[in-house]
Structure 1
Amino acid sequence: MTSEVENPTDKFAIYDSTIDESIQKNALQITVRIFTQLGAGSGIIIKRQGQTYTVLTNAHVADGSSDQQYTILTGDGQSHPARRKNLSNFKGIDLALVEFISDIDYEVAVLRNSEITIGEQVYAVGFPNYIYNSKGSIETFDWGLRAFHITIGTLEMLMSEPSLPEGYKMGYTNEVEVGMSGGPVLDSKGQVIGLNGRGKYPIQGIEIFALTDGTYPSPELFHKMNALSSAIPISLFQEGTKISGSLTDIKTQSVQPSYIPTIDSFTAVLNWVSYKLLGFRDFGTGKSQQGSQNRKEVTGKKICVPHSYEKRCIQGINLPTVTVEADD
């Protein structure tokens, strides 16, 4: 069953005048928001077969629903029930598939299958769960398409092995916020070259930059990696589907996992610590010298309910799973 969001006209006021409108329109058509039992992330429409659409996202987004059931918000403001689809041949990679059924004609993303190069202009796309301002943070879960967000930046790093765990091999300068995980990284033609999944300046520092061979990057490399958002190259997905023989009609155009915290992990830990120490809910904002969200101010009176995947943020710490009122 397909249903319409409360304010479908939101889509008429979401574009960023500083970014080419054709890129934004394409991005909105192929990007979806995935609502889980305990949060939300983003995804990419990569296939249509009859009335069944397949969405590629991060495994840590799909893990937000223990029953593997979701609600998908598409670029026309419609919402659709969805379910998780088995994704074989990707053990240890932070990828998942979700399916929904609709008789509406939705655009299917073009996955680039030609080589990507350092210095390319790229766009990071998704639906942030929070918007930050001088007074703190505002949730966007009921914003409909107004939550759609796109940022512009440059591809700065491509890693071979050893790389970061779970397939994170691509570094780029774009800002990526909580909720944008699973959304596409696009090239200048609007082709998908990767999936968002990790943000800049993680609070755990170098500890979460352990490489797949067990070593750590040099201080110089860590300094560079720390200042970049990280994505899974779409080539990893393309290679895996070729080997498994599944999803062979995906549109292309010439271009137990190791634990690692993701962009969606950080807010839960910050909120939990702020509640424990200060009795407040969300970290506010203020740009750091590097330009990423600093979130040192606090506001509000409720601790956020952690997503199921946010519990993975610090191993050995069991974050609370209920809403708690702070004392005045």
Structure 2
Amino acid sequence: MRNLSLIFSLLIYCFVFSQNDKVGINTETPSAMLDILTKGNTDATKALEIHNSSNTELLKVTNDGKVGINIGTNTPAGVLHINSEGIKNIRHQNLPVLNATDFTPPFNNLGLTSTGNAVSIPSTVKYLYYQNGNIFPATYDSTNNTGGFSLSNTNQYINLPIRNDVGLKGNTIGITFGTDATATVNSQTVNNVQYITIPEPGVYLFEFYGTARCNRFNNTQTYTFNGQIEVNTIFASASGTTYTTDTIFRGRLDGMRNDSGSTFNTSYSLANPQTLTVAYQTTQANQKVALFFNYAGGDNDFSRDECLFNIPAGANFSYYFIISKL
């Protein structure tokens, strides 16, 4: 009987049942259905502790509001301290699925440092890098200076392909590649246009660099002028198979120069870098774009297929193309 009285007294001492069905532990005025008040004021003072059948601490709440899960007898080192060794720490089920375009504030990319602190993970740079390591077009014959393209007609467009081949050095944007057997560029017919498709709407930076050159046709022509030829490097977007110029960069070819840019009188040679840089915004998914080269005018022209994008002395590519998502 004495033992029963002692147990009952301890229960009364520890628990207070208020008139509104609230339970208080170590407090006479519980403010919730279950209100626990710690008896110490140090970080290690525990307000709640749960053990398993092996007497291993599973969960604890300390006086300073920290929660420890599966950390044994350690004191929680953060507001939420979870030891996930050998188990899954957090599993979410039936959360809403977010599209890539929804990854904006307040949704953030979070990660952990080696000490377990939460940090923001830097966004992966989305880019495409293509480097054409051969002369273009591949049909060009450097012995006879034939099999290239002409630069004499302002209505002729030469497609500069970006392909999924060994020249593709990286593609984290997820750009895809295709060919239009027949298309129009500014109302002019162009066959076998090799294009790229941008999967996500957004703002992109496009950078192109290449070296154009024209040699004397079949080693029989004599060029004596040292003037200039104006050319266009063109960025165009498509609706179906209809391409329209978005940006034109005007360049020029200087006469009587060799691969190194030095005066070269024994045969007429043009070799000049052509560049294009454009910030482009697409508002629709799967936007098709392509690059073109075009004759604009000048002191002379090359009506034979004697022009190409060559590999200059000391270089290892004829042109490269970089896209980065801003």
Q: Is the pair's TM-score, using the shorter chain for normalization, greater than 0.5?
A: no
TM-score (norm 1): 0.23
**Which structure shows the higher helix fraction?**
1
TM-score computed with the length of structure 2 as normaliser: 0.23
Q: Which of the two has higher C-alpha Rg?
A: 2
